[in-house]
Chains A and B, each alone.
Chain A
Amino acid sequence: AQSVSQHNHHVILSEAASLELGCNYSYGGTVNLFWYVQYPGQHLQLLLKYFSGDPLVKGIKGFEAEFIKSKFSFNLRKPSVQWSDTAEYFCAVNRGSSNTGKLIFGQGTTLQVKP
């Protein structure tokens, strides 16, 4: 079965530290990849997405992610985090060849940024 794995469950960083959150998926076909963020008390928001083209994708708020097909990975990065980045981060995968937008989510990573 298709699965999405996020290796870091809880990450604590100080402001200005660099961030990398891992995401691996198991599906071998064409995929669409997403990172969502859920700030405390708020709904899920799309940070960035990859459908095709340049594997280095830039999103909102200074986030970026790199799709490495050979590693089945789509890691999220930010060079310098801020206290306001404290949130839950979810990686999600959709089968690109399907006719539905069915998303499979990873377990989520809680990021805590200390001021």
Chain B
Amino acid sequence: GAVVSQHPSRVICKSGTSVKIECRSLDFQATTMFWYRQFPKQSLMLMATSNEGSKATYEQGVEKDKFLINHASLTLSTLTVTSAHPEDSSFYICSAEPGLAGPSSYNEQFFGPGTRLTVL
């Protein structure tokens, strides 16, 4: 149990276009989902916290108008990179935290496999 999927696994787009990345909790309901960004050979940097049915909370320095997050259901959160530029190229990872009725204890997150975004 506790599987998180991401789609697509990799995407290449032209500069100026928008890209949507989906994060799904497959076998549990996720009250909270997190979006991270990972640069090569570096750690995960939290971008935003997404709660179902409410606005996402962005970390300092993350442009909320550029990285649009929608958490419309308890199993799906989406990250849209708007007007992507080459500097947005990165590995984007989501994680999902179950509600109290979920398969694990509070505060444990389950990670998706990541999405490699390349902006030409």
A contacts, CB < 8 Å to B: 32, 36, 42-46, 49, 51, 90, 94, 96, 100-108, 110
A108–B49 touching, CB < 8 Å: no
Can you name 24 A-B pairs with beta carbons within 8 Å? A36-B111, A42-B113, A43-B93, A43-B114, A44-B44, A44-B95, A46-B108, A90-B43, A90-B44, A96-B107, A101-B32, A101-B34, A101-B97, A101-B106, A101-B108, A101-B109, A102-B46, A103-B44, A105-B45, A105-B46, A107-B42, A108-B41, A108-B43, A110-B41
Q: How far is the CB of B54 from chain A (nearest CB, A)?
A: 12
Question: Which A residues are in CB contact (< 8 Å) with B41?
Answer: 108, 110
Q: How far is the CB of A18 from chain B (nearest CB, A)?
A: 25
Q: How far is the CB of A51 from chain B (nearest CB, A)?
A: 7
* The residue from B34, B43, B95, B105 contacting A106, defined by CB atoms under 8 A apart: B43
Q: How many A-B residue pairs have CB under 8 A?
A: 50
Question: Which B residues are in CB contact (< 8 Å) with A110?
Answer: 41
State in angstroms the CA–CA spacing of A110 and B49 once bound together: 27
For the complex with contacts A90-B44, A101-B107, 6 further pairs of A-B residues with Cβ separation under 8 Å are A42-B113, A44-B44, A46-B108, A94-B107, A101-B108, A107-B42
Residue of A nearest to B51 (CB): A100
B42–A103 touching, CB < 8 Å: no
Say whether chain A's binding surface is mostly helix, strand, loop, or mixed. Answer: loop
User: Which B27-56 residues have C-beta < 8 A from chain A?
Assistant: 32, 34, 41-46, 49
* The residue from B34, B43, B112 contacting A102, defined by CB atoms under 8 A apart: B34
Interface string of B69-101 (1 = CB under 8 A from A): 000000000000000000000000101010000
